Amino acid sequence: LQAVCTHLNLTRGRLEVLPYVRWIQPALRSKFVHKKYKLHYETRTHITKFEVRNLTGSTASTFLEYIQRNIPEGVGMRVGYVEMQPLPPTIKPGQ
């Protein structure tokens, strides 16, 4: 993602790596009996937050399309947009 930001001249915000979530599910090997023979299924979910600032609509769609095409198999992605707007005229800046 860092290389894509440099090639598209995007201002990169903070990168936050959250601790992974571990889920373990014990299961029996056989359907009915033999309770002492168990398997453990485990999934780990790694979460990384990445922030890109000051984008136009076309640049954001190009950036997201490139990332979605090159994302590895089994990796999910969640995208959120935040829009900056000017202050209303009733609020005076500097007071």
pLDDT of residue 42: 93
Per-residue pLDDT, 34:
86
3-53: per-residue pLDDT in tens? 888 888 889 889 899 999 999 999 999 988 888 899 999 999 999 998 998
Question: What's the confidence (pLDDT) of residue 17?
Answer: 93
| Any domain includes 54 | yes
- Classify residue 89: in a domain, yes or no: no
**Residue 95: pLDDT over 70:** no
* Structural domain for 10, as ranges: 1-69
Supply the CATH number for residue 31's domain. 3.30.70.600
Residue among 2, 3, 4 at smallest CA distance from 66: 4
Assess if residue 77 is contained within a domain.
Answer: no
Question: Residue 39: its pLDDT value, please?
Answer: 93
Domain annotation covers residue 78: no
* Contact in structure between 81 and 48 (CB atoms under 8 Å): no
Tell whether pTM > 0.75: no
Say if 51 falls within a structural domain: yes
Domain count, the chain: 1
